[in-house]
Structure 1
Amino acid sequence: MDFSMITRTGNKAWTIAIVGLVVPLFVGFAPILTFPEKLVAIEKANGQGIYVALVSHIISSFAVIASCVSELQIQNSELGRLALSSALVSDILSTIMTTTGVTIVSTPDMEVVSRNLFSLFTLAVFIPLICRPIMFWIIKHTPEGRPVEEGYIYVIIAMVFGLGVFTVKIDQQFVLGAFILGLSVPEGPPLGSALVKKLQFFGTSFFLPIFVTTSVLKADFFIDFSSSVVVSVGMVVLFIHLVKIAACFVTALCCNMPVTDALSLSLILNTKGVVEIGIYNSLYDNNVLHILLFRFKYVFHLCMQIVDGQTYGILMISIMIIATIVQWTVKLLYDPSRKYAGYQKRNMMSLKHHSDLRILLTIHKPNHISAATDFLDLCCPTHENPITVDVLHLIELVGRALPVFIPHCLQRQASLSASHKSYSDDVIVAFDIYEHNNPHAASVYTYTAISPSNLMFEDVCNLALDKVASMIILPFHIRWSSDGVVESDDKKTLRAMNHRVLEIAPCSVGILVTRANSKQTGTSTISSTSSSTTEYSSTTRLAVIYIGGADDDEEILCLAKRTMNNPRINLVVYHLVAKDCMAELEDLMVIGDEMLQEVKHAENVRYQEIFTKDGSQTACFLREIVNEHDFFIVGRRHGIHSPQTEGLTEWSEFPELGAIGDFLSSPDLNSRASVLVVQQQLSIKTELKGWIL
């Protein structure tokens, strides 16, 4: 848990958390406080089971909600982030209230109460002010890229048990010390991720299932539903949940949230799980211990009914029912991808002449930076044709519960001058230099997103939607050397993300395939502020493979038109025409494809019509030209069948590249050329159209 998030949480999360905590608390305890004579009767009939049910179902546990949001795979969605922020605030506030309340009512001796309150305050202040700086010292003395020393990890784990014993001594739960220490541990690598790695197996994978299983086995599900205990506890649980759902729902509506999203948020904040199981199990075990002590006549004053068997069974059933309802209902109500299913055109074809081209670049590894700047040079940013680039550095979420999104636009200089090195410093510096080398032609904004690997696509699509991007550029998951050796392969994270972005992106998408020793077109730099006085240090041989009949091919022609403004780019447009379909070329001339005609008759463009019978002839032609160019731009043409690619599709290894893109990217060609595969936005929307209707 990143405790510093509580200071950066917006007013919406604070409002929902406070209202969702205060309203059920007031509504739940108001009748009891209004009729104090009922207190004795309730305690005699039900012990403290009603109070336990009341308090435990009012509070929201961050750990449970984080687990629920993770299972729903919506951490990176706007709803998921708001739910986690609200849960963090609610958990901190409820922990403060419950620990203070337990300290006050645990004993009638005011001297003991004062001592425990002072100890609790000291604990809450000592750990963040003393332990947290020590942990930062550990991080500072850990070499970059190296794991934290094992000795430090074992010391921190020992501190967990030591603080647990101390909190028990001041009449608090054992987990309170671990909770405060956990808030103080710096999240993320290297320390947070090292602790997660060390404790993940024994804590989450081994002990947790055993603990939950044994806790449920203790429950007696042969419940007498006519019993006053069962009826009263069940009514309290149902009533409190309805009140809390209504409070969170109304508050979310007042914050201008859609009805379905507000209902989904209120349900998520009401979910229950392993934390509540631990509370009920502890109280039930405490009750059993008191009974045993009473039977053996060791002590009599400890015989106090906290949670009996009937109440324990009802509370366990309530957790199962609530968790099931929340999971099923939220999946039914909330689809985070629906916001991308608009019909607004966001592609290069829809841009007006001399309009600003907005591009979203995604960076995973340092070697993606040079390939990204190579592509930006192809876009030829000038005064007349400027580009706005949003660079998103994606980092896998490890050692923290909350996903983080950091805009570096305002804090750029501060982050560079600070002693603490940012994860994205290399990315920020590289694109700052690019913006400096292209004054008044390229505007660059950098961002960092730390999120689970299976949800990185949400960060990409959210930013593209917010910034009205016309194209997203994604790095291909494999990087080959010039001799065909695989240098890196990130199939699990990068390829899965690329597939999801291609499915739901709100704009056009390009997948950039680069090779380690490919010609670095990014060495060209613009040294002046107008297109008439540009100066370049290298020449790039660019080829566009055009087939026609698909929106993707029209999109690559739009990109080719921008490269025509660069005198140091030798552009060749290869128009593949089916040999047995000569009518295709005649129809094209009749229709008068303005874009193709403009490219065809440009002075600095070489246009060539290639007649092919099938995919085998196309492959032979591509083999002949593959080493004549430094860069290829092709359309993905997903789901479109044409004679020119017949047969190539069957042998395609990576469908996300299309038939021609996959062939040009094959290491068997021994090519050093980079390949950009483009999919236009409209081809994506057709997949979502049926769902929208």
Structure 2
Amino acid sequence: MDTKEDLTGISSTIFYSVVFNETLSDPTMKYVYYDAGFVLGPSLNTEALKKFKHLLFPYGSEDLLSLVSAYGYALFLFLNGVKMDFSMMFRTGKKSWTIALCSLLVPTFAGLFICYYFMDYWKDKLGEFDAEKLPVVVISHSGCSFPVMASLLSDLEILNSELGRLALSAGLVMDVLNSVGSGLGTSIISSLKTDSHDHDQSKGPALAIFSASKYVGFLVLVILTRPAMRWFVRKTPEGRPVKKTYTYLVMFMVFLTGCFGMVARQSVLAGFLIFGLVVPEGPPLGSELIKQLELFATWFLLPIFVTCCAMKVDISRHLDANLILIMVVIIVSVHLVKMLITIGICRYCKMPKTDGLCLALMLSCKGVVDFCTLVFLHDSMLLSREQLAIMAISDLVLGSIAGIGVKSLYNPSRKYAGYQKRNILNLKPNSELKIVACVQKPSHIRSIKDALDICCPTSSNPLMVHVLHLMELVGRSSPIFISHRLQERVSSGHFNYSEDVIVAFDLFEHDYAGNVSVSTYTAVSPSRFMHDDICYLALDKLASIIILPFHVKWTEDGSIESTDDNIRTLNSKVLEKAPCSVGILVSKGSSTSSYDTPTRQIAMIFLGGSDDREALCLAKRTIKECSYNLIVYHLVSSSNNAQTNNWDLMLDDEVLKSVKGYYGNVENVTYEKISIEDPSETTTFLSEIANEYDFIIVGRRNGIKSSQTEALENWTEFPELGVIGDLLASLDTNIRASILVVQQQQMPKS
């Protein structure tokens, strides 16, 4: 074997897999590897390519490459098992179980009935081998793969949407039941075949029972390893990675389980997947295993393996018309029954028709796991080469239809675009203010509490706070949402979620006993989907405003300590999609708490527009507490801005009346009208007042241009804060106060 040429073959395959996947986020649902395999395999059998294929893979070196990369696929299955929250099967509702069982069993029985009832006809048309393998086609298409579904939902950015959570629950149940059922069936059928070869029919039932018992014993043995791994987790200090020794022991148990699986008449791959299911998901053990293995297994070896599998498929060979027609009828029938059943159950559960159709498409999706399974079935002589080609094409078609169909039919953000006004400006007098406050880091707790203090909860103006602790999803596929007030148990693990956050805000509720109600939640999801959790909670709780921490953290001397681009991206998405008003809280770390000083100085910068009116309504809540002094600075220009219409001016004047003293003077409120001739005067004014106040409230004024700020817009570093908020937060201003930038609810355009 020519080592140099073999290396050339390997590097070329990697080139296909990596270059074509350069901009793709997850390899489990991408079909570029199939294209590379089809080009390198017999499907594209042109004379011009033959000599290049021979250079790439001389002397059958593709088989060696496939064997080596199969190790990566085994680890890929193990890691997907680790990511699955197996306990979710027992916590999911009746709806998920009903959809999963009906969508799995009904199409399977319907397809098997068609196969066996017309078996003589199929044998006459197709031949004995192809006809007897039609039940394999039915079983392959009746189930669904949880990793493929999780990847689809992640790509469509609906992983933690309401429909996405339902699809994950149903998909997990279907995948586990299908895997266990297939494993049990494999054990029984393989034992019966062995018995038939021995020509001793009397031992058939007894041998089948013995094989089934071995399989059940194998499952029990694997489950018994979970307490040992739980012990590894308990021995790991919170926030610290597990010891290397523990990960080595787990990997040793993984390979041992694969060997034991062969004793139970299962493949090594089945042993890897089943053991992955019993590994405690999430940190510290599950996340550490994924961190150590995912790059090598999922991003390096898996693409090579999928490419090698695609090289075994020959879609160029002549296919019998009867075989194509019969297999297409069976595949379409199975999926049609599955979709009708799923849609019917969703309609019975009073779900929208569109959501039911999207769920049916998700449960019919096919991907890389299904494709590799087909190749294994072909290698095991359970599918002919022609059937493999047809099944491969059907997987590509079904995967594409599912992705395109769900993307075009389901838009989760439309649920946020309510036409009901949910903001502070439109709250009735003396009504309860509902707030969703988000916390991602321990440093956010105090600043959020200070912002809630500004709302001045009283018996006549109570405050309801929904604190959402956002955590990044690591080491698992399924997102988590916990209501700590309901004491929901989300897993069988011993991981304590949000303990510091719960304690801090329970104390806040105690300090304002009778005037504040606090509910704490934890959302564990990928950072790019966190905005869905925030928006769903705000929508469900009818919140008037969402308070988000700013992405920059300052030190005590005013310099930047750290920035988090994930938080900034999250804030931008919430500003765009929120079903209510949004406030971004900028805390420079040295503002004094209301418990430290007898009087706090609050400033509100008002230029005009809907965002400023909303900010002023929030600021006016501070005057209900005598220990707060509110000063409203109204920045006006001597030259009227042509872009400001008379209606906005009237609304501005109306909301300012209460602070101007139209309805009687209020002792702790001051109104000052500041004339601004040039944008530079705005900067000078803000610099002068920056350190006179403990808290400053401004409107974002998104999309509004005015002569006071127009020339400053090109210098804005943080557009999410607006011009005024950006000036106050900049290093040049050297402000010590906390800043709350408010954006009023964005109503959908008619």
Task: Choose which of 471, 481, 491 in structure 2 pairs with 1:405.
Answer: 481
Q: What is the aligned length?
A: 649
Q: What corresponds to 1:22 in structure 2? A: 105
Superposed, which structure 2 residues align to 1:41-190 within 5 Å? 44-46=128-130, 48-108=132-192, 109-128=204-223, 130-190=224-284
Distance 1:653 1:276 in 2: 48
Q: What corresponds to 2:583 in structure 1? A: 510
CA contact (8 A) 2:218 2:260 kept: no
Distance 2:649 2:349 in 1: 56
Matched, 1:577 2:659: no
Q: What corresponds to 2:335 in structure 1? A: 241
Superposed, which structure 2 residues align to 1:484-503 within 5 Å? 484-491=558-565, 493-503=566-576
Q: Which moved more, 1:213-222 or 1:175-184?
A: 175-184
CA contact (8 A) 1:454 1:497 kept: yes
Aligned partner letter, 1:680: Q
Q: What corresponds to 1:458 in structure 2? A: 532
1:277 to 1:449, Cα distance in 2 relative to 1, 3 A: same
CA contact (8 A) 2:112 2:135 kept: no
Q: What corresponds to 1:313 in structure 2? A: 389
Distance 1:190 1:453 in 2: 19
1:585 to 1:242, Cα distance in 2 relative to 1, 3 A: closer
CA contact (8 A) 1:576 1:611 kept: yes
Distance 2:495 2:427 in 1: 39
1:165 to 1:63, Cα distance in 2 relative to 1, 3 A: same
Superposed, which structure 2 residues align to 1:202-601 within 5 Å? 202-287=296-381, 306-411=382-487, 420-491=494-565, 493-516=566-589, 518-523=590-595, 538-548=598-608, 550-581=609-640, 593-601=653-661
CA contact (8 A) 2:607 2:636 kept: yes
Return the offset for 1:158. 2.1
CA contact (8 A) 2:186 2:266 kept: yes
Aligned partner letter, 1:5: M
Return the offset for 1:213. 0.8
Aligned partner letter, 1:661: G
Distance 2:238 2:117 in 1: 61
Return the offset for 1:117. 1.7
Distance 1:75 1:590 in 2: 45
Q: What corresponds to 2:687 in structure 1? A: 623
CA contact (8 A) 1:482 1:670 kept: no
Distance 1:580 1:618 in 2: 15
CA contact (8 A) 2:146 2:168 kept: yes
Distance 1:125 1:383 in 2: 58
Distance 2:330 2:650 in 1: 76
Q: Which moved more, 1:425-434 or 1:479-488?
A: 479-488
CA contact (8 A) 1:264 1:329 kept: yes
Which sections of structure 2, spanning at least 5 residues, go unmatched?
1-83, 193-203
1:104 to 1:132, Cα distance in 2 relative to 1, 3 A: same
Q: Which moved more, 1:583-592 or 1:251-260?
A: 583-592
1:201 to 1:433, Cα distance in 2 relative to 1, 3 A: same
Distance 1:603 1:565 in 2: 11
Distance 1:638 1:477 in 2: 19
SS at match of 1:543: strand
Distance 2:332 2:725 in 1: 58
Give the RMSD, CA atoms, in angstroms: 2.2
Return the offset for 1:354. 0.5
Return the offset for 1:48. 4.3
SS at match of 1:359: strand
1:385 to 1:12, Cα distance in 2 relative to 1, 3 A: same
Return the offset for 1:324. 0.9
**Could you list the per-position Cα deviations for residues 582-633 of structure 1 after superposition, in whole angstroms to 9, with x for gaps in the alignment?**
9999999977833311112232111111100132110000011001111110
Return the offset for 1:173. 2.5
* TM-score scaled by length of structure 1: 0.90
Distance 1:591 1:248 in 2: 51
CA contact (8 A) 2:697 2:741 kept: yes
**Could you list the per-position Cα deviations for residues 65-98 of structure 1 after superposition, in whole angstroms to 9, with x for gaps in the alignment?**
1111111111111111110000011112212221
CA contact (8 A) 2:454 2:622 kept: yes
Q: What corresponds to 1:650 in structure 2? A: 714
SS at match of 1:667: coil
Task: Choose which of 668, 673, 677 in structure 1 pairs with 2:741.
Answer: 677
Aligned partner letter, 1:538: P
1:22 to 1:522, Cα distance in 2 relative to 1, 3 A: farther
**Could you list the per-position Cα deviations for residues 174-228 of structure 1 after superposition, in whole angstroms to 9, with x for gaps in the alignment?**
2222222112111111111001111111111011111111111111011434443
SS at match of 2:732: helix
1:677 to 1:617, Cα distance in 2 relative to 1, 3 A: same
Distance 1:72 1:251 in 2: 24
**Could you list the per-position Cα deviations for residues 249-279 of structure 1 after superposition, in whole angstroms to 9, with x for gaps in the alignment?**
2211211111111111100110011221221
SS at match of 1:271: coil
Aligned partner letter, 1:437: D
Q: Which moved more, 1:113-122 or 1:42-51?
A: 42-51
Which sections of structure 1, spanning at least 5 residues, go unmatched?
288-305, 525-536
Return the offset for 1:551. 0.7
**Could you list the per-position Cα deviations for residues 356-390 of structure 1 after superposition, in whole angstroms to 9, with x for gaps in the alignment?**
00000000001100001001110001111100000
Distance 2:437 2:266 in 1: 50
Q: What corresponds to 1:31 in structure 2? A: 114
SS at match of 1:580: coil
Distance 1:14 1:55 in 2: 19
Aligned partner letter, 1:471: I
1:230 to 1:640, Cα distance in 2 relative to 1, 3 A: same
1:148 to 1:582, Cα distance in 2 relative to 1, 3 A: closer
Distance 1:87 1:627 in 2: 56
CA contact (8 A) 1:32 1:38 kept: no
Return the offset for 1:53. 1.3
CA contact (8 A) 1:648 1:660 kept: no
Distance 2:103 2:205 in 1: 32
Return the offset for 1:45. 4.8
Distance 2:690 2:496 in 1: 40
CA contact (8 A) 2:88 2:169 kept: yes
CA contact (8 A) 1:48 1:307 kept: no
CA contact (8 A) 1:614 1:646 kept: no
1:115 to 1:589, Cα distance in 2 relative to 1, 3 A: closer
1:389 to 1:569, Cα distance in 2 relative to 1, 3 A: same
1:328 to 1:356, Cα distance in 2 relative to 1, 3 A: same
SS at match of 1:106: helix
